[in-house]
Each structure stands twice: as C-alpha cells, then as structure tokens.
Amino acid sequence: MTIKIISVNKNNFIEWRKSIRRVFGDIPKDEDVKRLARDRMMNPISEWKSNNNRLIAAIDEDTERIVGTGGADKLEITIPGGKPIDMAGIAYMGTAPTHKRKGIFSSMMRKLHDQATDRGDALAGLWASQSLLYSRFGYGLATYREDWEIYSHNTKINKKASDDIKLEFVDKDKALIEIPKIYDQFRKNQNGFTDKSEGYWKYLLHEDEKSKYNKSGMSGFFFVICYKNEKPSGYIFYNIKKESGVAHEDDKGELIVQEQIALDTDSNIALWNFIFGVELIEKVYINRRAPSDPLYFLLENPRKLERNTIDGLWVRIIDIKKLLESREYNYKGKIIIELKGQNQPDIEGIYELETDGKISEVKKVKSKPDVIMRPSDLSSCYFGAVSAYELFQAGNIEFNRNNLIKDFSNMFSVTKKPWCNTDF
C-alpha cells in the first residue's frame, strides 16, 4: 500500500468532506458541504483555487480513494501582551478506519506543520477530539474549556444593571453586522482569542429553515446587542428549548447561550441580568467559557453554577524565535531553555531567551541549559493557563539553576488568563 498526500481540489472536495464526517459517524448532505466551502472557507467549490493547499488528503494509490484528511484554517490569535500572531488552525483530521495505525495521521500532521513553516505562521493550534492525541506532536494545553449548567431559578445576579446600558433585540442581518465588530474589539484584548472571518460568522449563524421556526424543542437564534452610553458594548445570542409549544411554567424551559461577550464590566452585568431575567426558564447552559470568568462572583448562590472543565485550545510552536519574541514576560534577564524529547526536529534544540519584559531576543545556542522541557510543555506555558510549576510538579520540567522554578513560573504568568471560545 502506498499513500500520497495531495492538496484538496474542486474535484475531490465533496469526497474529502464526506471522508472526514465518516470518521465522526455522519453523512453530510452535498448542499451542506457546498455551504462549508462557500461560507466557512469563503471559496466556493466551483471556483476552488488550485493553489489553495491548506486542505490536504491522503490517497491510497491502489484505489485512488481518500483515506485521510486534514487542513489548516488561517487564523490570528492574541498572545500575552496583546499582539496578534498567525496561527495554522489545524482541523478536519481523520484517517479511514480501514487504514488506521499506519502512520497516515502522523504524515498529515508533519505536512501541515511544514506548510505552516513555509507560510511563516508562528503557531499551530487545534481542538482535540481525544486529549491523548496531540502532545506527541509537540502540542500543549493553552486554554481550558468550561461548560456550564446554571440553575437560574435558584440564584440571581448580585448586582443591578447600570442605567447607562440599553439592550436591543436585533434580527440576523443586523446581528451579522454588529456582532463581528464587537467580537473583534474584544478579541484584540483577550489573550487566547482568535479572529473569525466574515464567512465563519455566516457559517456559525446558519440555521436550518425548518428548525428556525420550531415552537417546541429548540428555537431559532435570538440576538441581543448591548449598548453602553449609546455605543455597542456586548452581545448575546441564544436559543430556547421548551417541551410544549405554548411555554408554560411546568415546561422546564432551557436557555442555551451560544455566545456572550461584553467589552466592560457594566455590559457584562447587564447581559447576565438579562439572561437570568428571561422567564419560564429553569436552566441556563453555556459552553466554552474560561475558568477565570467573573460570573461565579456575580451569582448570589454561586454553587448553582455547575462547571465541567476539560482541555480547550492546544497549541504547538512553529517558529520559536517569532513566538517567544512576540509575547511579553513577567521577567527581566536571560534564560537558556532546551526543548527535547518528542522527536520534533524542526523545534527541538537549545535557545537563549533574553528579555526586559517587553522586548525579547531569542538565539539558538550550544550552552548548558537552565531548563529542560518537552516542546509540548513550553507550548502549555506560553499563554499562561498552565504554570511551569504545575509541569515541574508533574515531572515534565528539569531545572539546572538554583531558585529558577519560581522565576520561570512567574515569567510566563499573566494577569488576564487566556480564553478561547472558538472551537474550529
């Protein structure tokens, strides 16, 4: 069996998409595959550019069929200190069950990392279907993801909304104009947030015409924009799930917040007051929040917020010099870091990092390292969700210089913890 890796083109796009969905156990309709290309990738299949090599397929040369899929979306992510850097958003990874454990996934990952290097991306990032899959390739946990279930009947927001705030329901056309602008302002100041293209918003807010008008079960989207002193300052969009079509207090209604973003404290308080004020609702759900979210401290009875915490965004270093020189640190001085142990020759080696906190310089050196760690552990420390001390306690980091543990942990710490709410 010989496998070759090729770029996805207009002739194999539908087969490619169906191959991915098969490994996740579903069969997409052709029209949904076309929508993916047109909206999310902003590149209709009929006009697919032959030089678009961000999507790849592994082909079994015996059958000429696709047996593996992968790709890298073009993303920008905000790093500690506030700079945006280019990130390869790795997604669509799958190997046909008929061709498992023959190294197809590993070769596709290598190819995607090589392509990211050629493009000049500093980082690769992904959301993992299984948490054991990616550290072998140098990925570390960059953000935690919390999914919440709130018994909104039994608690409320402990602060009133300010009179400076106004809330307005808008239709989807206006939402598609206003929400991306507010999101973009927010993400530029939030460590770990990625951009969302115009097409991605369209894809995200797509609704099936049948389910949009459901009277029972899950409703269509409701969009609310928040204004502080007349300026857009936050939003939510949500669905309501109820058993009967009439809405009744015995219905045990559920409000599913798809996204809530606020640019300031007053807008955050007002939006949560709004959510808790929606009547005939017993529970509120919201996914992909950060463990550092202030909502817990805004609840009268905080234990009514149940949190399920799992891994969120995973990242891998692509250009170590660019990456380490771009962020800010809580440290002034020089540290020599050796990265080794995961067979990732493009990033393993010894690096000297010298910084005054804001401006940093990274050089490849041959000196004795102060710190030895795996590439995945440095990736984990980078955004500040995981401290070097935790990794040291797990036996993943070795220190050769006295008293460096504290400095090294502080060096990567951040005031505003990272959050990523886009599962791409």
Binding site for ligand COA (CB under 6 A): 23, 93-95, 100-106, 128-130, 132-133, 136
Query: Minimal distance in Å, beta carbon 103 to ligand COA?
Result: 5
Query: Minimal distance in Å, beta carbon 133 to ligand COA?
Result: 6
Query: Minimal distance in Å, beta carbon 111 to ligand COA?
Result: 12
Q: Of 29 and 101, which CB lies nearer to ligand COA in the complex structure?
A: 101
Query: Minimal distance in Å, beta carbon 68 to ligand COA?
Result: 6
Q: Of 129 and 309, which CB lies nearer to ligand COA in the complex structure?
A: 129
Q: Of 106 and 244, which CB lies nearer to ligand COA in the complex structure?
A: 106
Closest CA to 70 of 29, 124, 141, 122: 124
Q: Of 68 and 369, which CB lies nearer to ligand COA in the complex structure?
A: 68
Q: Of 72 and 414, which CB lies nearer to ligand COA in the complex structure?
A: 72
Q: Of 191 and 380, which CB lies nearer to ligand COA in the complex structure?
A: 380
Query: Minimal distance in Å, beta carbon 66 to ligand COA?
Result: 12
Task: Label each residue of the chain as H, E or C.
Answer: CCEEEEECCCCCHHHHHHHHHHHCCCCCCHHHHHHHHHHHCCCCHHHCCCCCCCEEEEEECCCCEEEEEEEEEEEEEECCCCCEEEEEEEEEEEECHHHCCCCHHHHHHHHHHHHHHHHCCCEEEEECCCCCCCHHHCCEECCEEEEEEECHHHCCECCCCCCCEEEEEECHHHHHHHHHHHHHHHHCCCCCCECCCHHHHHHHCCCCHHHHCCCCEECCCEEEEEEECCEEEEEEEEEEEECCCCCCHHHCEEEEEEEEEECCHHHHHHHHHHHHHCCCEEEEEEEEECCCCCHHHHECCHHHEEEEEEECEEEEECCHHHHHHHCCCCCCEEEEEEECCCCCCCCCEEEEEEECCCCEEEEECCCCCCEEECHHHHHHHHCCCCCHHHHHHCCCCEECCCCHHHHHHHHCCCCCCCCCCCCC
Query: Minimal distance in Å, beta carbon 192 to ligand COA?
Result: 19
Q: Of 95 and 267, which CB lies nearer to ligand COA in the complex structure?
A: 95
Q: Of 56 and 262, which CB lies nearer to ligand COA in the complex structure?
A: 56
Query: Minimal distance in Å, beta carbon 109 to ligand COA?
Result: 8
Query: Minimal distance in Å, beta carbon 388 to ligand COA?
Result: 26
